[in-house]
Structure 1
Amino acid sequence: MTDLATKPGADEASNDGVVDPGESETTPTDGTPTGGGPDAPVYAWAPVEPEPKKRRTALWIGVGAGAAVVALVASSLVLIAPGTTVAGVSVGWMTPGAAADAIEQRLAATTVVLTGEGGDVEVTGADLGASVDARALADAAFAEHPMWNPTTWFAPVPAAPVFVDAEAATSALRAAAPELYTDPVDAVLAFDPATASYVATPAVLGTGIDVDAVRDTLQAAFAAGEERVEFEVVEADIQADTPTYVATATASRLNAMLDSAGFYIGEERTVPVDRALAASWLTVAPGERGTFEITADAGAIQPLVDGLAASVNRPVENGAVITNSSGDVLREEAAGVSGRELGDTSNVASDFAEQLATGNATFQLPATEVEPVITTLARTVEVNLSTQTASLFENGSVIGSYTISSGLPGTATPTGRFTVNAYTRMQDMGALCYNPNAVNSYCTEDVPWITWFAPDIAFHGASAFRSSLGFPQSHGCVNMWNDDAKFVYEWTATGTEVWVHY
């Protein structure tokens, strides 16, 4: 056999009739046994070919199927159940993120077809700036219909509210159907010289397509899962950018400014500003978001500022009050006026311009004031019946002494301490003046400068009916020459103390 080989140099004795391991009796190819004699050749088997390794195909097939099962289970934990729809959009076998994208794409592609006048034009949800909380819808679909729960498969999820960007929608609709739009007219403001006031001209409404109605139609289509829907045009008013109420309110504000415009020191409007002049300083122009912007020209204000000193500066004027001996004020003799000096005005025009822009037209001037000195004049009158004189005291000093005539013994001037209680510029005196039948009476007409200090008793002028004074001769009053009586009339005050004695 070709797979046998002779062992060269084999020792005969080594066999001893025993078959060496790895050796065996051989059989010729014809089947006759070969003897084991001493001269017989020794044969050895060639190395046996190793058996092929067993293939484990079934095992590997089992491992792959297991992994697929694991992957399927894992995916069921993150995917939405088959057959789930959101507003007609199939989101089964999707993650919430992919579902949100699909929902947004469907809304963006939903087409609104305008019918009626200006019809046969189309706009999409994307054109209208439409949006929906797609992620919330997708998360809700996954939460309510996860793949791992077969009982929730093949179920719809309600749509959420659709929002529309009004500005984007109006722009898209106007571009699609311009013939359906008329532009509004803004309200305007102007100064009327005839009334020296700001007046507002009302705004005029425009017309266009009702964006809310378009949104409602898009919402209904989205909720129904429709990708295309018809919309019969609904007209709506378009508000002006600057509405009437804004112009009216601004006019009121400006007119209030003109009412109070001026340069102030404290509460005093020291230098009023004419309404028309103040308006000439102002520029009123349309501002942002339908408002009006007010600016003022500092250069136009400056000429008035340059002349402020002449109107503001003044010297101090001291005052005086009449009191009684206790210090109680009886009358203000002189009011007293504070002195005033205008301060630095280098920034007044620019500061006032900035203030006017904020709506405030009352500008406080920088000024220094000097308060007046108020002198107290404690005045009293003393009548000495013994000397037939009346003396006037001011702060304890005699400022004048005058000759008088007091009452006769039968009608004596009363003594005591009295106070001035009334004044009469001129009147007739005596009962006979008022009662022709009066007995033991008299009538003196046109008695002047009467200062009353006791019942039916007064200081008064007597020049018209007395030739001399200095002795008792009256019916009780204190007679004085007219000029002296006038001085007492003007110098005293209600409440001035009068002391009559001997």
Structure 2
Amino acid sequence: MTDLATRDDDTASNPVVAADATVPLLAPPPVPPVPPLPDAPTYEWALPPAPVKRKRHLGWWIGGGTTFVVVAGLVASSLVLIAPGTAIGAVPVGFLTPGGATDAVRARLADTTVEIRTPGEALSMTGAELGASVDAEALAGDAFAQHPMWNVGSWFAPAIAAPVTIDHDVAGAALAKAAPAVYTAPVDAKIAFDPATASYAVTPAVPGTGIDLDAVQGALASAFASGQNANIEATVVPVSAAFTTTAAQQFAGTLNAMLDSAGFYVGDERTVPLDRATLASWLTIKVANGQPSIVVDKTAVAAFVQTLPGLVNRAPVNATVVVNSSGDHLRDEVAGLAGRTLGSTGGIADAYAAGLAQGQGVYKLTVSESPFQTTTLERLLEVDLTAQRLYLKENGQVVDSWLISSGRPATPTDTGHYRINSHIEEQTMTGLNTDGSTYVQPDVKWVMYFNGDQGFHGVYWHDNWGHTMSHGCVGMPEDLAKKIYDWAPTGVDVWIHT
């Protein structure tokens, strides 16, 4: 029997024996017996055996430590590595960290090649040239989460699908450069202000031609999934302009709607409307990567804003209203307007320019207002039958007067207090004479009834003013009848007396 020998820790004189040396095993020295004492009970003492020196297995200690380190390393590695046999698309990522797997996937996609056969030549394009991309970081994270190395049951799982996309702008530019005969450039739609219609109009986009990029993307995705390069026949398809006709029409609609309402408002009143051509002269329409934007001439806006106080400020306009004896508001002779004063114009130009850039042409002004005063005119049409005269009165004062012709004694004009109840510009009047015959009077103008069929009106068939001549109405020259027709709204008081 053999073992590894070592020197004793507390016996410095013993030489160290090599780990592969063979030495005889030494038995411990014998323990002498203890004789019994005379005339005393005999006891047997159980002495502990002499300690046997342990042999130190140095070689095993060293080997065991190495094994521990290796095993510990393997365990630690299994906690951060992806399981063997794992693949993302056709890219093996087993024994890699998620970071290493991310790099491997990206590198393989960049090198994956598609051969595109065109009528004139075959183009060999890599994923890098086509602007290809894949979410490698997320896929590597999923690979590690689903197939960690420590989980033996997840080893050699089916490949993880990797969706591949290409950047159409990058791919289109690269293919157009490589095969210019296949490509014709599309022309963007254009928007311009038309002075004839005072609106923005659209020039339609013109499509171009190019290689079907969806087919190229599909071929590249298949090549990446299989690990083999792909070959496809180029398909020439229409290439839409970046700024399409539809997009241009929508943007022109926004611009025209802005022109419709643009201006500076006080409340809901568009106090300072903007001329459409003037506003359009402040705007430049730019298109970048198919996206339109509005560039505003801030200097022009600022110059216009300086004119606002003169366009907004005003003194109050006092109101004049017509009423009757009951105080009923019959009509505004002059509509009242509050005075207003615009505050500081500071900041208005910048704010309005910013709004225009966003397609917003309405700006609400802040003003201070001063109230207006109201004057009431209580109007009265007074007829003195004895004097055969009409008086126009306001607030009890005569403002005009003239002779009239009222009803004959047989058909008198009734006395009393009345109110104008209707206005008729022209009509044919009919009625009965005292002898029972019927009269018909066509084209009677400026009729205002106040008492049944009695009213004021113009007369063109006689000029015998100051004498009774009618069937009960109050007649006068047509021009004077027109005057009171306009002066006395419905509801004005009428007083007939002798």
Contact 1:73 1:148 in 2 (8 A): no
Q: Which amino acid aligns with 1:212?
A: D
- The more displaced of 198-207 and 395-404 is 395-404
Between structure 1 and structure 2, the one with the greater Rg is: 1
Counterpart secondary structure, 1:285: strand
Unaligned runs of 5+ in 1: 1-49
* Residues 420-441 of structure 1: per-residue CA shift (max 9 Å, x gap): 23456788877468xxx96367
Counterpart secondary structure, 1:157: coil
Contact 1:298 1:352 in 2 (8 A): no
Please provide the CA RMSD for this pair: 4.8
Contact 2:113 2:223 in 1 (8 A): no
Shift in Å, 1:410: 4.5
**Corresponding position of 2:451:** 454
> In 1, distance between residues paired with 2:140 and 2:445?
108
> In 2, distance between residues paired with 1:409 and 1:294?
83
The alpha-carbon distance between structure 1 residues 327 and 131, as it changes in their structure 2 partners (threshold 3 A), is same
Q: Which amino acid aligns with 1:242?
A: F
Alignment of 1:67-146 (within 5 A): 67-74=65-72, 75-76=74-75, 77-78=78-79, 79-117=81-119, 119-138=121-140, 140-142=142-144, 145=147
- Give the structure-2-normalised TM-score: 0.68
Q: Which amino acid aligns with 1:240?
A: A
Contact 2:387 2:466 in 1 (8 A): no
* Residues 296-325 of structure 1: per-residue CA shift (max 9 Å, x gap): 37459959977995x878776644222111
Unaligned runs of 5+ in 2: 1-12, 22-56
> In 2, distance between residues paired with 1:414 and 1:84?
115
- The more displaced of 60-69 and 398-407 is 398-407
Equivalent residue for 1:498, pick from 490, 494, 497: 494
Contact 1:287 1:293 in 2 (8 A): no
**Corresponding position of 2:242:** 241
**Corresponding position of 1:418:** 418
Q: Which amino acid aligns with 2:61?
A: V
Shift in Å, 1:274: 5.2
* Residues 371-407 of structure 1: per-residue CA shift (max 9 Å, x gap): 6543211223455667877655432455567777765
> In 2, distance between residues paired with 1:212 and 1:380?
87
> In 1, distance between residues paired with 2:134 and 2:430?
106
**Corresponding position of 2:219:** 217
Equivalent residue for 2:17, pick from 51, 54, 60: 54
> In 1, distance between residues paired with 2:420 and 2:463?
24
> In 2, distance between residues paired with 1:164 and 1:482?
88
Contact 2:447 2:457 in 1 (8 A): yes
Contact 1:460 1:480 in 2 (8 A): yes
Q: Which amino acid aligns with 2:213?
A: V
Shift in Å, 1:102: 3.5
* Residues 161-182 of structure 1: per-residue CA shift (max 9 Å, x gap): 2343444444444454444433
> In 1, distance between residues paired with 2:239 and 2:356?
33
**Corresponding position of 1:286:** 287
> In 1, distance between residues paired with 2:331 and 2:111?
92
Alignment of 1:433-452 (within 5 A): 439=436, 451-452=448-449
Counterpart secondary structure, 2:218: helix
* Residues 130-157 of structure 1: per-residue CA shift (max 9 Å, x gap): 3444455555555555555655554443
- The more displaced of 261-270 and 453-462 is 261-270
Identical residues among aligned pairs (%): 46
Counterpart secondary structure, 2:494: strand
Aligned residues: 446
Alignment of 1:268-287 (within 5 A): 275-287=276-288
